Structure 1
Amino acid sequence: MSDSDRICVGAIGGAFGVRGEVRLKSFTAMPEDIAAYSPLSTEDGARAFDVTLTGQTTNGLTAQLSGISTKEAADALRGIRLYALRAQLPNLPDDEFYHADLIGLEVYDTGGAVLGRVKAVLNHGASDILEIHAPGMSATILLPFTTEAVPTVDLAAGRIIADPPEGLI
């Protein structure tokens, strides 16, 4: 199974309480939808968990994972990212993308010059930002992922056409 068959949908924040529940950060559009995509697997695919949501906490959800029944077992999972099979996830509208599909795409300006490659997709609350690694530059470019700054995303061709705001590059 390739990485493109799996999408990161959440991460475990550590134990919640003493009965094996975990704090769960959901990366899905509707946070509680994460449970519908179970079983969720670890990045290496070595472990899979059925997820039962038990409540909400600050900045996340609380959940019971199958096979985890103690605080120690839950704490041992802190920082583990959870993946769902792409086939389990809904198809997206044309103007929405899974972050995993954007990482690694070549970015060109509207004149056809290469700006770099998408290194990460960041979100600090307002909207998504593409972190672009430009050839020959030590710093990365942070490009707002808006229709104005990124008018075209062509997944089939593996490229993004960007129209960066004046003075960004």
Structure 2
Amino acid sequence: MTRPSGSQRNKSERVCVGAVAGAYGVRGEVRLKSFCAEAEAIGSYGPLWSEDGTRSFEITLGAAVAQGFAARLSGVQSREQADALRGLRLFVDRARLPSLPDDEFYHADLIGLEVFDTGGTSLGRVKAVLNHGASDLLELVSPGRKGAVLLPFTQAIVPTVDLAAGRIIADPPEGLLE
């Protein structure tokens, strides 16, 4: 139902598509985690940018490795340089991403949206979109509620996503929000 692409809501400019997990080997390669629905797509979006936009990297994907790919980033020549990039989140210009069918959304577009029940009562805002294997979950937070609530992101429970209005309509199972 969704395609992951990061955790920042920034529709007009860039979307997070991956992160550097650390050095891979001794020749300047990195272990690259992809947040794309098709993991290898991260290599086809053109230059990827640091979050602050001060650095860009051309990506050459290598072999698949645990939780990602071995990859070469332009300008990174040594293990020390690669290791210094650990944790760096990589962004792509939104215009380079493919358009989606009507029932699919980029995670970045859902984060920050307010969620209402079918009666119009606010349930909170989407803090994150998580996926632990079965399906996507919306992590909702709201003032006055201790902790977050995980709302299954299925057509039955979340029948309406209105990006233009900045809201989601949900019909949560009884007892979920108590």
Q: Which TM-score tier does this pair reach, normalised by the shorter chain?
A: over 0.9
Q: Distance in 1 between matches of 2:17 and 2:134?
A: 19
Where do 1:140-151 residues align within 5 Å? Answer: 140-151=148-159
Q: Distance in 2 between matches of 1:127 and 1:6?
A: 25
Residue number in structure 1 paired with 2:46: 38
Residue number in structure 1 paired with 2:24: 16
Percentage of identical aligned residues: 66
Q: Distance in 2 between matches of 1:42 and 1:125?
A: 28
Residue number in structure 1 paired with 2:10: 3
Higher RCO by CA contacts (8 Å cutoff, separation 6 or greater): 2
1:96 to 79, 83, 104: 104
How far does residue 136 in structure 1 lie from its aligned partner after superposition? 1.1
Matched AA of 1:62: A
How far does residue 135 in structure 1 lie from its aligned partner after superposition? 2.5
Are 2:158 and 2:168, in contact at CA under 8 Å, matched by a contact in 1?
Answer: yes
Matched AA of 1:109: D
Residue number in structure 1 paired with 2:131: 123
2:74 to 66, 69, 92: 66
Q: Distance in 2 between matches of 1:100 and 1:3?
A: 7
Moved segments of 4+, more than 6 Å: none
* Gaps in structure 2 of 5+ consecutive residues: 1-8
Q: Distance in 2 between matches of 1:125 and 1:28?
A: 15
2:116 to 88, 108, 115: 108
Does 157-166 or 2-11 show the bigger shift? Answer: 2-11
What is the RMSD of the two structures over their aligned residues, measured on CA atoms?
Answer: 1.1
Residue number in structure 1 paired with 2:87: 79
Q: Distance in 2 between matches of 1:148 and 1:154?
A: 16
Where do 1:129-140 residues align within 5 Å? Answer: 129-140=137-148
Q: Distance in 1 between matches of 2:150 and 2:37?
A: 22
Q: Given the two structures, how large is their TM-score scaled by the length of structure 2?
A: 0.91
Q: How many residues align?
A: 168
How far does residue 47 in structure 1 lie from its aligned partner after superposition? 0.7
How far does residue 126 in structure 1 lie from its aligned partner after superposition? 1.8
How far does residue 29 in structure 1 lie from its aligned partner after superposition? 1.0
Residue number in structure 2 paired with 1:50: 58
